[in-house]
Amino acid sequence: MNIAYIRKFKDSLLMNLLTENFEKYSVFESFDDFYSQDNKFSAIVVQGFSNTEFLDFSKRIRNNNNYFLTPVFTKEREYELVCGNILNIEETKEKIKIIKLLSEELTIKDDIDWKDRLLMYLYTRQDMVLEPEIDDRHDVYYHYPIIENFTDKEDDYFYYLDLLAEQNILEKSTLVDKLFCCPFCFSAHLKLTDRCPNCNSINIKQEKFIHCFSCGYVAPEAKFEKNSRFVCPSCNAKLKLIGEDYDRPLESGVCNDCGEYHIDSKIEITCITCRKEFSSEDLVKRNVYKYKLTTFGLNQIKYGTVNLTYLLVDNSNYINTEYFNLILDWFIQMNLRYKDDIFSMVVLKVVPASEYVDYTLLSELSKVLRGMQRNTDFGVRIDNNILMFIYPKIDVDGVEIIKSRFKGFSDNIHHNNKSLDLKIECFTSDSENIKNESARTLTSSLISKL
């Protein structure tokens, strides 16, 4: 085992420990010294740096194809995101051995992205649980420190976790919390204000009310008080017994500005992050889970087939992009050979009203839109918010009917959720307009028109 020892100051105990237990190790006086060399190491030992310095280093190596799987250990002080304490030497050597063996089972390509690195990292730590931690600096209030070692895109990785769970790569092992979030930016940092339902004033107060049985008059209790008794100011009836002379009505609040009585105040919510205002009916629910790899997920990562997991269909009946392109190329070739074998296409783009995207809502919308299609139609998710469908044997008139159905659905979305709109583009083939087309050029052309 070849160990990299990065230190800020000399530690004789640690030097002796490394000398006694590892056949080879290299000493670096700073992180920059470590970055400047090209050697590969079985493990890295870090000592003497601040937690901030260590986190910066950890993020940097987890985004480096040479070191993203390398275990990191510390002495005494437990930094965040380490594999363990180097002083537990037997446990340390066992972890290094296991991670090395599991790493050798993986094929690491030059063009892998943060998602690939994260999954391979989890594969080499098969008992690891992705645990959310509370941090009010994050919009969603919770975050996953391990994942943030690999990416800064918080909204992207929350969506990615949902997708991995949907594909059975990850298991939602424990429900940690349920949050209400802003429908515009998905932030859980919200301010609630109760207002008068009549004039929208915040100048309201809680009161005890009385309902006179004799005349039906309802007013705050203070208006009935007279010489330490309750007397109706409307009919002068003496109210002695609750349930016989009077009762307590549902009204419980009064507005100091307009004077109206109300049963429930109007709750208005302001997002502290994006400053948008909305009602409680518009809140988006978000469940926060602990995640761990499934047995199925381990096999998919090992053989590099995660992206092919749902080659034919995913849980929402959308096919894989590559498979969609193969089908579309086949339709193009068939129509070039047989003029009657026409097909139509519709591409949809869900457009948020702001820069913020509610990925949960997009996922649900995509399921609804797929449910509107026939079993013989093919659908694909080009991006989080772009969907495309192929309709065999559908001509111009037929695709216009489909477009009108989508338009009606779009109008309904816009009416009920002003944060989303739907853009629609259609295409119907003939032997001339597809003569020089392929699946990739045709889909690119349609998407560019949105």
Q: What is the domain range of residue 74?
A: 2-104
Instruction: Judge whether 367 lies within some domain.
Output: yes
Give the CA distances from residue 56 to residues 72, 79, 149, 388, in Å, rounded to whole numbers and listed in that order: 13, 12, 9, 41
Instruction: Judge whether 30 lies within some domain.
Output: yes
Instruction: Judge whether 52 lies within some domain.
Output: yes
Q: How far apart are CA 253 and CA 256, in angstroms?
A: 10
pTM of the model: 0.65
Stretches in the chain below the pLDDT threshold 50:
309-313, 356, 415-416
Q: And the tokens for 211?
A: 């309902």
For residue 3, the model assigns a pLDDT of 93
Residues facing residue 25 across a β-bridge: 3
- CATH number for the domain spanning 12: value is 3.40.50.2300
Instruction: Judge whether 116 lies within some domain.
Output: no
Question: What SS3 class is residue 292?
Answer: strand
Last residue of a domain, one of 104, 123, 156: 104
**Which has the closest alpha carbon to 319: 306, 308, 335?**
308
Question: What SS3 class is residue 295?
Answer: helix
Last residue of a domain, one of 78, 104, 130: 104
Instruction: Judge whether 90 lies within some domain.
Output: yes
Q: What is the pLDDT of residues 145-171, one digit of tens each?
A: 999 999 866 556 887 888 788 888 999
Question: What SS3 class is residue 139?
Answer: coil
Q: And the tokens for 248?
A: 């307590």
For residue 80, the model assigns a pLDDT of 63
Q: And the tokens for 104?
A: 């050798």
Spatial contact of 363 and 162, defined as CB atoms under 8 Å apart: yes
For residue 312, the model assigns a pLDDT of 46
For tokens 């895109």, what's the residue?
A: 153
**Which has the closest alpha carbon to 242: 272, 274, 209, 275?**
209
Report the domain count for the chain. Answer: 2
For residue 173, the model assigns a pLDDT of 93
For residue 11, the model assigns a pLDDT of 87
Q: Where are the alpha helices (DSSP H) in 320-438?
A: 321-337, 359-371, 396-416
Q: How far apart are CA 30 and CA 6, in angstroms?
A: 6
Last residue of a domain, one of 58, 88, 104: 104
Span between the terminal Cα atoms of the chain, in Å: 56
The pair phi, psi for residue 332, each rounded to 5°, is -60, -45
- CATH number for the domain spanning 396: value is 3.30.70.270
Instruction: Judge whether 198 lies within some domain.
Output: no
Q: How many CB atoms lie within 10 A of CB 161?
A: 20
Instruction: Judge whether 12 lies within some domain.
Output: yes
For residue 433, the model assigns a pLDDT of 87
Residues facing residue 251 across a β-bridge: none
Q: What is the pLDDT of residues 259-306, one digit of tens each?
A: 888 877 888 899 998 888 888 888 888 899 999 999 989 988 988 877
Instruction: Judge whether 22 lies within some domain.
Output: yes
Q: And the tokens for 360?
A: 């949960």
Q: How far apart are CA 67 and CA 243, in angstroms?
A: 77
The 8-class DSSP code of residue 402 comes to H
For residue 381, the model assigns a pLDDT of 82
